Amino acid sequence: MSPEFPYLPDEGVVVVQRGPEPGGVGGAYRAFGETLRGLKTTFARIIEGPVTIQYPEEKTPVYPRFRGRHKLHKFEDTGLEKCVGCSLCAAACPADCIRVVAAENDPDDRVSAGERYAEVYEINLARCIFCGYCEVACPFDAITMGHEYELADYNREDLVFTKEMLLAEPVERTPLRREGE
């Protein structure tokens, strides 16, 4: 609430709270007291114990909606892939990191439940920004964001996750060095 024009001289004046003047016997007494208060504060931290999370051994738990590395899903009863190769995820991807090559299903040996399936499904995690739009765009809930976040690697090529790697359950990490490399 701002004061109305014309301002009265004592209107809107804030009285500043000031501590006692430093120095003198009283100042020394207060300084001693404050020192003891500081010592108490730090000692309370010993009793409280460390709050450190020692990362490689202890991990921060992620929230259920945490957007980590993607997962592709299969139907639990039939074992068929949910992905039908519609490429909507690739269209939704703002970082353009998903590549889908669709192919017709062979009726005798079906890969997916739909008419077509994803012959190639690659996500370049070096480009992915983990926005989750692919998950939103997917009409069949075939792709979701998982919880894995330890994705560092030595080669950019190793960060291109193929369909097999995204389908794999439990999570299968790329080996750090390929043979003959």
Partner 1 sequence: MTLPLADTTFVEATWILVVKSIVIFAVIFAIVPMLTVLERKLLGRFQARYGPNRVGPFGLLQPLADALKLISKEHYHPRAAIPALYYIAPAIVVFTGVATLAIIPFGNVQEGFGLYGIDVPIGILYFFAFGSIAFYGLLLGGWASGSKYSFLGAMRAAAQLISYEISMGLALLGAIMMAGSLSLVSVVEAQSQVWYVIPQFVGFLIFMVAGFAETNRAPFDLPEADAELVAGYGTEYGGMRYGSYAMAEYIEMFVISAVAVTFFLGGWHGPGPGFLDPIWVIVKIFAFLFLFMWVRATLPRVRYDQLMSLGWKILLPLATLNVLVTAILVTVT
Site for partner 1, rule CB under 8 A: 28, 35, 38-39, 41-43, 45-46, 48-52, 54
- The CA angle 55-61-64, to the nearest 5 degrees, is 150
Residue 157: DSSP 8-state: G
CA distance 147 to 62: 7
Q: Kindly tell me which of 13 and 46 has the beta carbon lying closer to partner 1.
A: 46
Q: Kindly tell me which of 46 and 152 has the beta carbon lying closer to partner 1.
A: 46
Give backbone dihedrals phi and psi of 99, rounded to 5 degrees, phi first: -125, 125
* Strands 70-72 and 143-145, bridge-based pairing: antiparallel
- Nearest Cα residue to 129 out of 101, 162, 156, 93: 93
Q: Kindly tell me which of 2 and 54 has the beta carbon lying closer to partner 1.
A: 54
The distance of closest approach from Cβ of residue 60 to partner 1 in the complex, given in angstroms and rounded to an integer, is 16
- Nearest Cα residue to 72 out of 41, 117, 106, 33: 117
Q: Kindly tell me which of 28 and 129 has the beta carbon lying closer to partner 1.
A: 28
The distance of closest approach from Cβ of residue 112 to partner 1 in the complex, given in angstroms and rounded to an integer, is 49
The distance of closest approach from Cβ of residue 50 to partner 1 in the complex, given in angstroms and rounded to an integer, is 5
* Residues in a beta bridge with 87: none
Residue 9: DSSP 8-state: T
The distance of closest approach from Cβ of residue 57 to partner 1 in the complex, given in angstroms and rounded to an integer, is 11
Q: Kindly tell me which of 2 and 42 has the beta carbon lying closer to partner 1.
A: 42
The distance of closest approach from Cβ of residue 149 to partner 1 in the complex, given in angstroms and rounded to an integer, is 23
